[in-house]
Amino acid sequence: MATRTRRTNGKAAPAASTAQAAPFARLRRTRASAGLRRLVRETELSVDSFIYPLFVTHGKNVRAPIAPMPGCYQLSVDNLRREVREIAGLGIPGVLLFGLPPRKDSEASGAYDDSGVVQEAIRAIKDAEPNLVVTTDVCLCEYTDHGHCGPVTGAGQVNNDASLELLARTALSHARAGADLVAPSAMMDGQVQAIRAALDADGFAMTPIMAYAAKYASSFFGPFRVAADSAPQFGDRRSYQMDPPNVREALREIEDDVAGGADIIMVKPALAYLDVIAAARSRFDLPLAAYNVSGEYAMVKAAAANGWIDERRAALEVLTAIRRAGAGILITYHAKDAARWLAE
């Protein structure tokens, strides 16, 4: 009988609150309704964080589906206008451009050709959507006939210092075409410093650099290499991209890019490197980007296509986790879908 302990017959009531003190916290209290969950939510996912990558190819009226990346296309410059209207219409602040040139050579000359595919794409996008932030990936692997991120010596080594000059020329050519932000991804030592110097010397002191500072030699780039036709023809990228087991080394990479003049730092890939994102966030005060790469996108798409996971929930969970780890900018192939889901 619940009332029995209260019949005290003049004696002091037993200290019921002590006897019944909960030995555990009831954390479920603030999960009990959608409203409470909203109020206690710690991480906000917003379209304001998104950058959507685009693959620009040579030719006319091309809209070629990329098999391992359902929903993504190689687009020719004439088809960009419609695409960027849609992107801007969804409220996405920026795009990241990759180029598929008509010809490749040992010196990657298509990368710094002032009338190359990316340069033409920049002009077309700035004309169609002047407020869309046009970021360019600055690398040489899509333009070299051997598919490495810099010129190769006779011994088959990627030549670091020879790459710097070509990367600087490429970034400068993008800035001249109207790029708002340049993003070197070759993982050559000194690339940020070289690009900063070239931009400053040519009147582009206000063009910021987003450094792919900690970029790992990752299996998750597989689908991208199909999309960008940039697979190395021999060897791999392990002599310049980072070794996946390392995190302290990532902080050294970032430190060096900050010293070289980076305005925004990036960790790539994102999902298998959340600890690296978190470490970068706690150590550095620059804006931090994370690249939710092609393989991460492909895994979600493939599992969803098989009915094994719910694509919308999985994609938003992944993006939220990357935000929670500390990234402020999310480069993601899910940007258009996520923008729609968040608007619902």
Contacts to ligand PBG from residues 153-182, by CB under 6 A: none
Question: Tokens standing for 160?
Answer: 């670091």
Q: Is the Cβ of residue 128 or residue 302 nearer to ligand PBG in the bound state?
A: 302
Interface residue with ligand PBG among 66, 108, 122, 141 (CB under 6 A) is 141
Q: Which does 57 bind (CB under 5 to 8 A by kind): ligand PBG, Zn ion, none?
A: none
- Taken as a whole, the chain contains a residue count of 344
**Cβ 210 to Zn ion shortest distance, Å:** 15
Neighbours of 284 (CB within 10 A): 18
Give the position of tokens 């070239």: 198
CB of 215 to ligand PBG, least distance (A): 7
**CA separation for the pair 301, 295 (Å, rounded):** 10
268 is catalytic: yes
Among 185, 191, 193, 332, binds ligand PBG (CB under 6 A): 185
Going from the C-alpha of 38 to that of each of 30, 31, 41, 58, 72, the distances in angstroms are 9, 9, 5, 46, 32
Q: Is the dihedral of CA 312, 315, 320, 323 positive or negative?
A: negative
Report d(CA 150, CA 118) in Å as an integer: 18
Distance between CA atoms of residues 179 and 125, nearest Å: 10
Interface positions, 187-226, toward ligand PBG (CB under 6 A): 221, 224-225
For Zn ion, give the closer residue by CB, 92 or 111: 111
What is the token pair recorded at 303? 């599992």
C-alpha–C-alpha distance, residues 130 and 200, integer Å: 23
Contact of residue 137 among Zn ion, ligand PBG, none (CB under 5-8 Å per partner type): ligand PBG
Q: Considering the candidates 104, 215, 301, 336, report the single residue annotated as catalytic.
A: 215
For the bound state, the minimum distance from the C-beta of residue 21 to ligand PBG, rounded and expressed in Å, comes to 53
Q: Which of 293, 298, 300, 335 binds ligand PBG (CB under 6 A)?
A: 293
SS3 58: coil
Would you count residue 137 as binding ligand PBG (CB under 6 A)? yes
Nearer to ligand PBG, 119 or 136 (CB): 136
List of residues contacting Zn ion (CB under 5 A): 139, 141, 149
Helices then strands, each counted (H, E), the chain: 12, 10
Interacting residues with ligand PBG (CB under 6 A): 137, 139, 141, 149, 185, 221, 224-225, 237, 293-294
- Annotated catalytic residues are 215, 268
